[in-house]
Structure 1
Amino acid sequence: MKKSALINSELSYLVSTLGHTDEVTICDAGLPIADEVQRIDLALTHGVPAFLDTVKVYLSEAQIEGVILAEEFKQVSPELHDAFLSVIEQERETSGKAISISYISHEDFKTKTLDSRAVVRTGECTPYANVIFQAGVVF
């Protein structure tokens, strides 16, 4: 459910049409995206836009209740993983809502993206910088 303004029309439309528990993936530049899933491609060049910047803008607009990450993210890219968790903790505090965090293998993560309403591709080139957000409700 929308919380504030977002400039990208495709992403804004997606957020405004989400229902409770719908899933949206935000990914790095290398994650494979199935043809059956809507692709919102924001990538301009290496690192632009960054994964965390995209996550922050998405969270300014969407209410979430769950986060799914690849287990490999915390092991291979611990600095970005920890920065991401800080953003999620801030979202918990700001929204006053619980947000679950779960981990699955990267292979299972790629398969799970097929359940997403859309996959948002960033220019991020940090390994495993991918997240599946589960939509919550604002009430």
Structure 2
Amino acid sequence: MKKAGILNRHLAGAVAELGHGDGVLICDAGMPIPPGPRVVDLAFRAGVPAFAEVLDGLLAELVVESATAAEETRRTNPEAARLLADRLPDLTLVPHERLKALTASARLVVRTGEARPHANVLLRCGVFF
């Protein structure tokens, strides 16, 4: 049994399969999920697990070369906007409709229980060397 890192077997396995350039969407409970990507649904109850917890857990395991979020986040969810700006200084902001279109190319979607709007980010995997 693992003693650290991501313990959820489905998420740990999905993360291990990611490669350079793959997209990972971490999303709130209300984000539309397009057909195609593998989905690991962690949502248990409204707010559980929180977007911040899942983001931090994934950032500890992934090399991220770029990230994209909705520009509306700054207005509708300032806490998430601050979190994303702090964790991902090179974050690109696009209209929410554009972010939803970009999610179609994600290889993995991780759905949280977050119940506040626009707590979504599309990460693009990099390489560690």
1:83 CA displacement: 2.2
- Equivalenced residue count is 126
Residue 72 of structure 1 aligns with which residue?
72
Describe the SS at the equivalent of 1:112: helix
Matched residues in 1 for 2:114 and 2:107: separation? 21
Residue-by-residue CA offset, 1:70-126 (whole Å, 9 max, x unaligned): 11111211122102322335xxxxxxxxxx321111111111111000111000011
> TM-score, normalised to structure 2's length?
0.91
**Counterpart residue number, 1:137:** 127
Tell me how far 1:36 sits from its aligned partner. 2.0
Contact kept? 2:85, 2:91, Cα under 8 Å: no
Identity of aligned residues (%): 39
Query: By how many angstroms is 1:19 displaced?
Result: 1.4
Instruction: Give the 3-state SS of the residue equivalent to 2:91 in structure 1.
Output: strand
Q: Secondary structure of the equivalent of 1:108? A: helix
Q: Which structure shows the higher helix fraction? A: 1
Instruction: List 4+ stretches of structure 1 deviating above 2 A.
Output: none
Report the counterpart of residue 16 of structure 2 in structure 1. Answer: 16
Instruction: Provide the C-alpha distance between the structure 2 equivalents of 1:84 and 1:35, rounded to a whole number of angstroms.
Output: 26
Gap regions ≥5 residues in structure 2: none
Measure how far apart 1:12 and its partner are. Answer: 1.3
Which residue does the alignment assign to 1:126? Answer: 116
Pairs within 5 Å for 1:1-139 = 5-88=5-88, 100-139=90-129
Question: Helix, strand or coil for the counterpart of 2:98?
Answer: helix
Measure the CA separation in 1 of the matches of 2:35 and 2:25.
14
Please tell me the residue identity of whatever aligns with 1:126: R
Partner Cα separation in structure 1 for residue 44 and residue 127 of structure 2? 32
Normalised TM-score (structure 1) = 0.85
Question: Structure 1: which 5+ runs fail to align?
Answer: 90-99
1:104, 1:87 → 2: CA distance?
18
C-alpha distance in structure 2 between counterparts of 1:113 and 1:130, whole Å: 10
CA distance in 2, matches of 1:5, 1:53: 12
